[in-house]
Structure 1
């Protein structure tokens, strides 16, 4: 398992590429392992993500539910305008807090 940086008690998970059906499976598995392993305060860095589809959104929402069940939270940071539009239009941004960058998400 790859080590992820911790900032102010938040585990930062940088993602890159497209968060589509193929990648969503890996992201779901990764976030599940982190959360069940005790990292219930997670910031997903979306700065290098260029595209998100419904399976990617579901992966993020499932991880957030798991983190919250463990008395934690999942935050999203650094989404590019096109990704942010998808988060807004899908309603995900009403459920998951969006921050302009990792520093703001970990504050």
Structure 2
């Protein structure tokens, strides 16, 4: 597992399981912090058939600039024949997607798929 730091206030935790990269930002994703996520997702989606999961469960706030970063990553993944999944249990995030008419655009999951969790079991948030 790796930690990446961008601007102050954003932390990105990253791990790879069975060829799938899981990126877990922590804190607020806004105009100041979204560039760090954008840079990492651009690197992860540069090759053929990227398989990326963005675990948003530890994100307390997301604005339109961060939503734009996720849209860009989705478009890059689709062009390259890959897959992008978002993990969020937040009703607020679901409302944001609905109000921006992006409700059906992303593959949105309530938790990490079993195959991507240690020991094949459900795992909650990984932040302590």
Partner of 2:85: 75
* 1:102 to 1:53, Cα distance in 2 relative to 1, 3 A: same
76-85 or 14-23, which moves further after superposition? 76-85
Q: Secondary structure at the match of 1:92?
A: coil
1:14–1:45 Cα contact (<8 Å) kept: yes
- Which aligned pairs between 1:1-107 and structure 2 lie closer than 5 A? 2=2, 4-37=14-47, 40-103=50-113
The unaligned stretches of length 5 or more in structure 2 are 4-13, 117-128
59-68 or 32-41, which moves further after superposition? 32-41
1:20–1:55 Cα contact (<8 Å) kept: yes
Structure whose residues are more often helix by fraction: 1
Kindly provide the CA deviation profile for residues 60-103 of structure 1, in whole angstroms up to 9, marking residues without a partner as x.
00011111111102110024222222122212232111000112
Q: How many residues align?
A: 106
Larger Cα Rg: Structure 1 or Structure 2? 2
* 1:104 to 1:90, Cα distance in 2 relative to 1, 3 A: farther
RMSD: 2.3
Counterpart CA distance in 2 for 1:64 and 1:95 is: 9
The normalised TM-score by structure 2 is: 0.72
